[in-house]
Structure 1
Amino acid sequence: MMIVLFLVGSLTMFYPFYINALNQYLDQVRMERYQKKSEEQYASQQAQLAEANRKLAETGIHFTTDPFEDTAGGRLSKEQYDKHVIGQVNIPKLAIEIPLFDTTTPNLLEVGATVINGTSFPVGGAGTHSVISAHRGLPERELFTNLPKLNNGDLFLLEVLGETLAYEVISSEVVEPNETSSLKIIDDQDLVTLVTCTPYMINSHRLLVTGKRVPYTPEIKQAIQNGDRFRRFKQFAILTGVSMIVVLSLWLLVRVIRQEALRRTRFDLAIQLNSDPADTQKAIQLYNRQGKKPLIRDHQPFIRTTDASGKAIFENLPGGLYQIAIEGEKQKIKVGIKKKGQATKIYSKKQRNQKPSPVSVLMGT
């Protein structure tokens, strides 16, 4: 029972860690599938989004609703995922890489970051301002949980339609949900704002972290690779650790069940002294498996004295291992059965220069 409680408690306590690591791994698999698109497909989709951005620059950004208001999402289908995914958001400082979708819906927000409807698509270019939202505090995904840790000068990257766009944080602010005055398109600037709820688990306001486009340099590429290595190591460590806990707990549970089943069987432990006939009548005391605790039978130490033939029997014992102490011998001897239906055996390890065992055991019944 204790093992089951330990396993359930461990899985519950570590749930946010291993489920996030598992989801990140699955996202990587999906993204690798998405990245197999041809350059022609990427170019066609980029042209469409760039044209939409050009039209938006003429009319300006317009917000319809707060992306975090509607929480009735439902399960995201594979078809929806494949239709709307356009890349991923990579934040090296936070060691996160999450899917990026071209529109905002409640079910897409449950699994990644989304471009808020009515803002620029994140394909770069002067006169664009893409606003990207993601949740904080979801038990199964990290997403933007640690976004407040970003400071001015930190980098985040958008890997969109086969291209990598780098942005440097230039400002962070907390605003009311309906306060959008800072989310404007500015001529000749390429801006991206990351949005999430704040304070943590209260969600009464919105955190806006804005970055401006910077060149994608070899140093930035190295920072991405370092973050990727750390993230994958963390995923591996978490999933491996949880798997080991589960396997160990199940192994212990099976062992306890087998031991309990063994204890329910009964056998007679028959001991035969291997000594001269004149030296056969000796007292033999029974101890527990560790040899520390004397066993009691009828409120007395469980002791049997060998008969004239050197034989003693400990009757009706629960299945398992025991140790016996023989009168005149310094070392206890481990005897018993490890499995149901097994013959009684001696299990004590032989030491160098040790004399032959003073006893042998007869078939348990």
Structure 2
Amino acid sequence: MSINTAKPKHQRNSYGKPPSVFRKTFLPLLVIIVGMLVMLYPVYASQWNNFQQHKISQRYQEDIQQADPHKLSEAVEKAREYNKQHTNGPILDPWLARVNEDNTEYRDYLAQLSGQSAMSIVSIPSIESQLPVYHGTTDEVLQKGLGHLYGSALPVGGKGFHSVITGHTGLSNATLFDNLIDVKKGDAIYVSTFGEKLKYQVVDTEVVLPDQIDGLKAKPGQDLLTLVTCTPYGVNTHRLLVHAKRVPLDPSDEEAFSNKGWKIQPWMWGLMALALAIITILVWWIRREKRKVKSLESK
């Protein structure tokens, strides 16, 4: 007598019925969906914050267009006078040094170019970036946008002045200055401050230690702007400085101040492509399980 030891191709439950597709796929499906949500959260968080920064930049420009031109001009002139009276302000690393925000001088600084949703807007067409600039470089400021370095000149231009704008690189929930490393010599940087529109051209980039601040000091007769962020990505032991010099505005430059949105990072495309691949495999697997159950039910 021979005994058949082969296992049945399809396992049936105690009632002789094949298990449903739902029961077989629910737990794996749940685990995969939760995993995908966790994986895609940085993309969602970054895009949401990028959208918020886009809205603030847009609102800032709309508010400036609707504001009293005389009051805007007064604010800019007041900022220029402030710069003349504070040529020897402290230049400190924005991530390692903190300024006492309760002192009179800092409160006077906060009163300059105030009353709008931001101090200024910085546009860098070469990396598709347009971000709001706020007073100071506190953690709160640098989490939501760019920060003007207290001690440097307010961003209203002028020979003999040097404005410094700082921003994070490597945040999991915002792009900010992630692409600043791609800015090259000759690229244009545009600044819009209370209706005053300025154009700067990148003349040099350098990587320095946090305490090397000579590149942030003003130079006689030159109108300078420097953008600062941490580097290398995720390590942050050094500072990337992008130095730019004031150049004349052309009529064609007006388009650079328009708010066109933001750039989707390569790593975001990678995660979304991976998620799409997982969804495709998941759909294929569920359909295969359905075919198995239908085949078993037909027997």
Query: What TM-score do you get using the length of structure 1 for normalisation?
Result: 0.58
SS of residue in 2 equivalent to 1:101: strand
1:66 and 2:93 equivalent? yes
8 Å contact 2:192–2:257 — kept in the other structure? no
1:136 to 169, 180, 187: 169
Amino acid paired to 2:73 = A
Moved more, 2-11 or 17-26: 2-11
Unpaired runs of 5+ in structure 2? 1-26, 99-113
Amino acid paired to 1:164 = K
1:3 and 2:29 equivalent? yes
What is the CA-CA distance between 1:93 and the residue it aligns to? 1.2
Name the structure where helix makes up a greater proportion of residues.
2
Amino acid paired to 1:293 = S
Q: Write the distance in 1 (CA, Å) between the matches of 2:147 and 2:263.
A: 26
* C-alpha distance 201-46 of structure 1, shift in aligned 2 (>3 A): same
* C-alpha distance 175-232 of structure 1, shift in aligned 2 (>3 A): closer
Q: Counterpart of 1:259?
A: none
8 Å contact 1:94–1:146 — kept in the other structure? yes
Q: Write the distance in 1 (CA, Å) between the matches of 2:179 and 2:246.
A: 22
What is the CA-CA distance between 1:129 and the residue it aligns to? 0.2
8 Å contact 1:168–1:211 — kept in the other structure? yes
Q: Write the distance in 1 (CA, Å) between the matches of 2:291 and 2:242.
A: 64
* C-alpha distance 224-84 of structure 1, shift in aligned 2 (>3 A): closer
Q: Counterpart of 2:251?
A: 218
Q: Counterpart of 2:226?
A: 193
Amino acid paired to 1:32 = Q
Q: Counterpart of 2:4?
A: none
SS of residue in 2 equivalent to 1:62: coil
Give the fraction of aligned pairs with identical amino acids, expressed as a percent: 34
8 Å contact 1:87–1:158 — kept in the other structure? yes
Amino acid paired to 2:191 = L
Q: Counterpart of 2:183?
A: 150
8 Å contact 2:129–2:262 — kept in the other structure? no
* C-alpha distance 40-290 of structure 1, shift in aligned 2 (>3 A): farther
CA deviations 1:94-136 (Å, max 9, x no partner) are 1111110132222101111111111100011111100111111
8 Å contact 2:127–2:263 — kept in the other structure? no
Q: Counterpart of 2:297?
A: 295
Query: What TM-score do you get using the length of structure 2 for normalisation?
Result: 0.69
Aligned-residue CA RMSD (Å): 3.4
Q: Counterpart of 1:202?
A: 235
Moved more, 25-34 or 131-140: 25-34
| Structure with higher RCO (Cα < 8 A, 6+ apart) | 2
* C-alpha distance 11-161 of structure 1, shift in aligned 2 (>3 A): farther
What is the CA-CA distance between 1:88 and the residue it aligns to? 1.5
8 Å contact 2:161–2:222 — kept in the other structure? yes
Q: Write the distance in 2 (CA, Å) between the matches of 1:222 and 1:34.
A: 16
* C-alpha distance 31-148 of structure 1, shift in aligned 2 (>3 A): closer
8 Å contact 2:128–2:262 — kept in the other structure? no
8 Å contact 1:174–1:207 — kept in the other structure? yes
Unpaired runs of 5+ in structure 1? 72-80, 257-287, 297-301, 303-365
SS of residue in 1 equivalent to 2:119: strand
1:47 to 69, 77, 80: 77
* C-alpha distance 294-204 of structure 1, shift in aligned 2 (>3 A): closer
How many pairs does the alignment contain?
240
Query: Where do 1:22-101 residues align within 5 Å?
Result: 22-35=48-61, 36-37=63-64, 38=67, 39-57=69-87, 60-63=88-91, 65-69=92-96, 85-101=118-134
8 Å contact 1:61–1:184 — kept in the other structure? no
SS of residue in 2 equivalent to 1:293: helix
Q: Write the distance in 2 (CA, Å) between the matches of 1:293 and 1:156.
A: 65
Query: Where do 1:1-365 residues align within 5 Å?
Result: 1-35=27-61, 36-37=63-64, 38=67, 39-57=69-87, 60-63=88-91, 65-69=92-96, 85-222=118-255, 228-229=259-260, 231=261, 234=264, 293-295=295-297
Q: Write the distance in 1 (CA, Å) between the matches of 2:85 and 2:143.
A: 29
Moved more, 173-182 or 31-40: 31-40
Q: Counterpart of 2:103?
A: none
Q: Write the distance in 1 (CA, Å) between the matches of 2:37 and 2:74.
A: 46
Q: Write the distance in 2 (CA, Å) between the matches of 1:164 and 1:9.
A: 46
Larger Rg: 1
Q: Write the distance in 2 (CA, Å) between the matches of 1:87 and 1:219.
A: 21
Q: Write the distance in 1 (CA, Å) between the matches of 2:214 and 2:199.
A: 24
Q: Write the distance in 2 (CA, Å) between the matches of 1:12 and 1:82.
A: 39
Q: Write the distance in 1 (CA, Å) between the matches of 2:156 and 2:255.
A: 22
Amino acid paired to 1:67 = P
